[in-house]
A and B are shown apart, each in its own frame.
Chain A
Amino acid sequence: ELKVEQNPLFLSMQEGKNYTIYCNYSTTSDRLYWYRQDPGKSLESLFVLLSNGAVKQEGRLMASLDTKARLSTLHITAAVHDLSATYFCAASLWGKGGSEKLVFGKGTKLTVNP
């Protein structure tokens, strides 16, 4: 059974600081996703990581994947208030008919303080 653990679950940081969110998954998975969710809103796709060593960057966020360690990280550089949100990672399992099922972590609620 695939399980996904994120830590920390809550993160309060100051603007301008750097921090990393960790996502561990328990069994082999082909893909790793990162999503952002603002309060009361739906999920916004940030990154999909498809292979070992994959690294993607968008603005102040950088995601990486180590399939051997079953670990993905989301690194935040020089945080700004607009990054305050809940961040989810999700690992994938293949389902019926070539479909992909996602198993989500519990999310990391990030608050960036001035």
Chain B
Amino acid sequence: NAGVTQTPKFRVLKTGQSMTLLCAQDMNHEYMYWYRQDPGMGLRLIHYSVGEGTTAKGEVPDGYNVSRLKKQNFLLGLESAAPSQTSVYFCASTNWAYNEQFFGPGTRLTVL
């Protein structure tokens, strides 16, 4: 079991560029989440999904889109990156049977 994996680990973008972050889990979890972590802040929820084909907004959804076409994958897209989106992005997954979310290793994104 690889658990929760994230691709890429690091990325540098220029303002206005687009990119997609991939989160994959091999635990057959229903629920998946995207968080961002900024210095001096805890994690903040961007979007989440309760199953294949369904997504919902979290606390800070503006500037991001998500898709969950397959149960094991949850994609986070930035259509036009801004410096304010410089952050570390964490993906997590779980299902109703667990009392915890399982976090991926993170993606460090810098927007210049």
- Interface residues of chain A, those whose CB is within 8 Å of chain B, are 4, 9, 31, 33, 41-43, 45, 48, 50, 88, 90, 95-107
* Residues on B with beta carbons closer than 8 Å to the beta carbon of A97: 30-31, 50-51, 54
* Residues on A with beta carbons closer than 8 Å to the beta carbon of B101: 45, 100, 102
- Closest residue of chain B to A48 (Cβ to Cβ) is B99
Q: Is the CB of B103 within 8 A of A106?
A: no
Per the CB 8 Å criterion, the residue count for chain B at the interface is 26
B74 within 8 A of A: no
What number of A-B contacts does a CB cutoff of 8 Å give?
Answer: 64
In this complex, the member of A50, A102, A103, A106 whose beta carbon has the largest number of chain B beta carbons within 10 angstroms is: A102
In the docked arrangement, what's the CA distance between A105 and B30, Å? Answer: 25
Q: Is the CB of B104 within 8 A of A101?
A: no
- Closest residue of chain B to A106 (Cβ to Cβ) is B42
In the docked arrangement, what's the CA distance between A9 and B40, Å? Answer: 9
Q: Is the CB of A88 within 8 A of B42?
A: yes
Q: Is the CB of A42 within 8 A of B99?
A: no
In the docked arrangement, what's the CA distance between A31 and B101, Å? Answer: 12
B55 CB to nearest chain A CB (Å): 9
In the docked arrangement, what's the CA distance between A4 and B59, Å? Answer: 13
Query: Within residues 6 to 49 of chain B, which ones have a CB less than 8 A from any CB in chain A?
Result: 30-31, 33, 40-45, 48
